[in-house]
């Protein structure tokens, strides 16, 4: 199971640019965002775009100091029933982009220490089967946002 | 008139279709009934007694006289439910004055965690016009049965609160007299939802 207790980050947090783009041996991770928690919500979903530059890799887990637990999850519709399944890993085929987005792949945060507020940002460390861990800055959008918080696209980067 | 239906809507209609088959009514009959805006055969909906965010009792009778848009979910749902409730809030905006005749209702399938205070604060985060309702286990089971809604708990860990809920991904548009009008898929955009609702409001 890909669940881990939150640990303090071992990767030093550099002054990350507004749209954090992290790159290490093999996997890039960018456009990391989450929705603000609604009401007294104690869960959140994080979305991120991953790209395996070199060979095939797999996302095997995530941690953040903001939540007691981070699980790899996928929402799916099973004949009119909305369900979520836990994943042990998410395959990252070589050269392909894997986009986590509402209604599909997400990193589910539970046991949040504090609610996520629109405009917040927080670090999330992604662990891979092969590549070194990557820490991204997660930007918090409005409670029901469908896309990452606007206005933070890096020049030349395609936001949709 | 061609009704746009995706797979989840079709799934929701299976019980209706089965019932109509028993009565010997085919697809043409269904379309005719749909066109009449208030099919009496669906059997979706019925009496319920629940509690709102302020702790007040709300029943199906309390809500008579307005169209209802009924959706079942839970507040610990971080991915799908916020998308749907945001679409509902967007549809209300798009409907403008017409939305005065419509009351969206969000009923939790997780009453253990969704106390009145929790459900009220949750729906308010999307729109103050969405009514959040909770109840006892029995009250929730009863209203889910009335609406032919499926829900089930799935454990995600050892702790008492470590679970998610599977739940039907359909919204139900109900007439001011409490009768079922049409299903609306939970993954529709605000614009699609507004158009679907407006069509029925104008017909009725
Ligand atoms: Cu999830």
CB contact under 8 A, A106 and B78: yes
Computed over every residue of chain B, the mean pLDDT equals: 84
Shortest Cα distance from A35 to chain B (angstroms)? 8
* Predicted confidence (pLDDT) per residue in B96-134, tens digit: 999 999 999 999 999 999 999 999 999 999 999 999 999
Q: Give the pLDDT confidence score for residue A132 in this predicted structure.
A: 93
Asked if pLDDT for residue A103 goes beyond 70, the answer is yes
Computed over every residue of chain A, the mean pLDDT equals: 83
Q: Give the pLDDT confidence score for residue B127 in this predicted structure.
A: 96
User: Hey, where are the domains in chain A?
Assistant: 23-141
The stretch B72-97 carries a mean pLDDT of: 95
CA distances from A20 to A6, A31, A79, B29, B87 (A): 21, 7, 37, 56, 29
CB contact under 8 A, A109 and B78: yes
Residues, chain A, total? 160
Q: Give the pLDDT confidence score for residue B204 in this predicted structure.
A: 65
Q: How far apart are CA A138 and CA A32, in angstroms?
A: 5
Buried b (16+ CB within 10 A) or exposed e, B125-140: bbbebbbbbbbeeebb
On chain B, the residues whose CB falls within 8 A of the CB of A106 are: 78-79
> What is the number of structural domains in chain B?
1
On chain B, the residues whose CB falls within 8 A of the CB of A43 are: 76-78
Residues with CB under 5 A from ligand 1 (ion): A 73, 84, 108
Shortest Cα distance from B114 to chain A (angstroms)? 10
Name the architecture of domain A23-141: Sandwich (2.60)
CATH number at residue B132: 3.40.30.10
CB contact under 8 A, A41 and B78: yes
Q: How far apart are CA B104 and CA A37, in angstroms?
A: 21
B85: containing domain: 5-203
CB contact under 8 A, B78 and A103: no
Whole-number percent of chain B with pLDDT over 70: 79
The stretch B50-77 carries a mean pLDDT of: 96
Asked if pLDDT for residue A80 goes beyond 80, the answer is yes
Asked if pLDDT for residue B191 goes beyond 50, the answer is yes
Between helix B190-203 and helix B80-95 the angle, nearest 10°, is 50
Q: Give the pLDDT confidence score for residue A101 in this predicted structure.
A: 95
């Amino acid at each position: 199971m890909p669940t881990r207790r939150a640990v303090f980050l071992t990767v030093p947090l550099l002054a990350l640019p507004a749209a954090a783009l992290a790159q290490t041996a093999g996997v890039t991770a960018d456009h990391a965002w989450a929705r603000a928690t609604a009401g007294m919500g104690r869960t959140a979903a994080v979305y991120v775009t991953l790209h395996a530059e070199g060979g095939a890799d797999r996302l095997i887990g995530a941690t953040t100091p903001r939540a007691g637990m981070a699980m790899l999850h996928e929402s799916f519709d099973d004949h009119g029933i909305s369900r979520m399944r836990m994943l042990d890993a998410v395959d990252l085929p070589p050269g392909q982009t894997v986009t986590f987005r509402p209604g599909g792949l997400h990193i589910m945060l539970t046991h949040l220490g504090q609610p996520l507020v629109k405009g917040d940002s927080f670090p999330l460390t992604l662990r891979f089967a092969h590549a070194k861990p990557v820490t991204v800055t997660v930007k918090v959008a409005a409670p029901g946002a469908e896309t990452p918080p606007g206005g933070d696209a890096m020049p030349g980067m395609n936001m949709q | 008139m061609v009704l746009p239906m995706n797979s989840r809507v079709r799934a929701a209609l299976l019980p209706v279709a089965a019932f109509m088959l028993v009565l010997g009514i085919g697809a043409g009959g269904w379309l005719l009934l749909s066109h009449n805006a208030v099919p009496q055969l669906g059997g979706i909906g019925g009496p319920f007694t629940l509690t709102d965010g302020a702790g007040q009792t709300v029943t199906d009778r309390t809500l008579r006289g307005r169209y209802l848009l009924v959706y079942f979910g839970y507040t610990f749902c971080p991915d799908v439910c916020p998308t749907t409730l945001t679409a509902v809030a967007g549809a209300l905006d798009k409907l403008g004055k017409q939305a005065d005749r419509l009351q969206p209702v969000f009923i939790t399938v997780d009453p253990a965690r969704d106390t009145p205070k929790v459900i009220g604060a949750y729906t308010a985060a999307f729109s103050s016009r969405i009514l959040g309702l909770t109840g006892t286990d029995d009250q929730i089971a009863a209203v889910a049965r009335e609406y032919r809604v499926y829900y089930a708990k799935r454990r995600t860990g050892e702790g008492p609160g470590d679970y998610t809920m599977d739940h039907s991904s359909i919204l139900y548009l109900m007439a001011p007299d409490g009768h079922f009008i049409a299903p609306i898929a939970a993954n529709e955009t605000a614009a699609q939802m507004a158009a679907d609702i407006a069509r029925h409001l104008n017909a009725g």
